[in-house]
Structure 1
């Protein structure tokens, strides 16, 4: 999901950690090379109006009243999400659904302080052994924080936004697709539900299925059971 602006050394460390199976959806976007949505909407689908009808099941169009291509401000106006982010990870604002984890200003401040320190450590002028050791510790702390926030995002469910546009929806525990797939569904049920619809198993054992030109559904597995479901922009 998340593709950040990091130094070469830090990026390598991030990519190593993000190969962790529980964060497969997030690692997918770390290889981003295509155009990202900008504040003006360039490179993204046309903004969708705030949904007022019945909520969507989790699927290729979105979830609840959140739809692909939606602006952050419009998504917040649906009332599906908490009013403030619970974290900011690799330039994404991450929100939980109403009823999920609530924003923690003190943790957000600590996260910001850590990332500010990491940014300073990326200064090429920091070349002494002590500077290098301090930077390595900061990178490790930041990577650990990032992974923890990512796994928490997948576990609780929520939505992330970059440049003001929806980037990923992580399905909460009680979400189900129109075909009845949810957390705990078997591999056989998943494969049967999406037979001949482009569902493909990756080398990591997880499944991806196209959801329009710019999006994909991701089903992360724990053995033969679906562990997490996400709808993510393709990069």
Structure 2
């Protein structure tokens, strides 16, 4: 009887160990599948497209693609920006500031154009001018000098409204540094700003060192540009006007974008 009990207990123990082993194997299999899925490389950020967007798309096509949120998140300078799907909701306070800055800048530019357009050029005196003609000419020159001084003073004041654009642009860029954004102008898509985790096919993105950037694109027309950036002509579907833009600060890439040259907001 004791022998039978021991045999039964041993059989149960073996069965239990078998079931546990099977469970562990199943868990390992699940983990293996997850690891395989996680190891699938994400789509590179490049001229061939990103997150379902193509550089050749119109604004309507891009919005219909489902790659973007439907509500604008920036209206600075007359351009319209959208977040990628799942990105930040519109910040109404920041957008109100942008709209105010845009209105002031437009008004200032219009006034500056008006001032410059109305400026008169005083022709030189003709040879043999009389004393009266010289006096009148001198008076006109003096009047013009006074008007020029007044115009310069007004333009200096108007420039303060134009200077508001820079901080507003910086605030927008910082707001979307991590998540990226897509910018549309008068001729459609003009800028794709990459999320922080995005990388080009060569592995360059936010956090890459300046040296890594230069090594990745050695011999490929990578050139320094304005504002601490590097530019590189985009290939494989970007077209002649599209460029990669790498923003570098303190020796590291802090932002990555695809930018279309010669296209404007308004």
Greater per-residue strand proportion: 1
Following the alignment from structure 1 to structure 2, what is the Cα–Cα distance between the partners of residues 71 and 200?
Answer: 29
In structure 2, the CA distance between the partners of 1:60 and 1:172, relative to structure 1 (3 Å rule), is same
Match of 1:60 in 2: 47
Unaligned runs of 5+ in 2: 1-41, 116-149
Residue 159 of structure 1: how far off its partner (Å): 0.7
Of 143, 167, 180, the residue aligned with 2:203 is 180
The number of residue pairs the alignment matches comes to: 180
Give the 3 Å change call, closer, same or farther, for CA 133–186 of structure 1 in structure 2.
Answer: closer
Change (3 A) 1:67 1:133: same
Matched, 1:78 2:101: no
Distance 1:113 1:227 in 2: 28
Distance 2:224 2:48 in 1: 21
Aligned residues of 1:73 and 1:164 also touching (Cα < 8 A): no
In structure 1, the residue matched to 2:123 is none
Q: TM-score of the superposition, structure 2-length normalised?
A: 0.57
- Once the two structures are superposed, residues 80-132 of structure 1 have per-residue CA deviations (whole angstroms, 9 ceiling, x without a partner) of 2221111112221111222322113454344324433444454448x899987
Please report the RMSD computed on the Cα atoms of aligned residues, expressed in angstroms: 3.0
CA contact (8 A) 2:182 2:192 kept: yes
* Contact 1:56-1:65 at 8 Å conserved across structures: no
Give the gaps of 5 or more residues in structure 1: 1-54
CA contact (8 A) 1:208 1:217 kept: yes
Higher helix share: 2
Stretches of 4+ moved more than 6 A in 1?
127-134
After TM superposition, list the pairs within 5 Å mapping 1:1-235 onto structure 2. 56-121=43-108, 122-123=110-111, 124=114, 135=158, 137-163=160-186, 165-202=188-225, 205-211=228-234, 212-235=239-262
TM-score (norm 1): 0.63
* Larger-gyration structure (1/2): 2
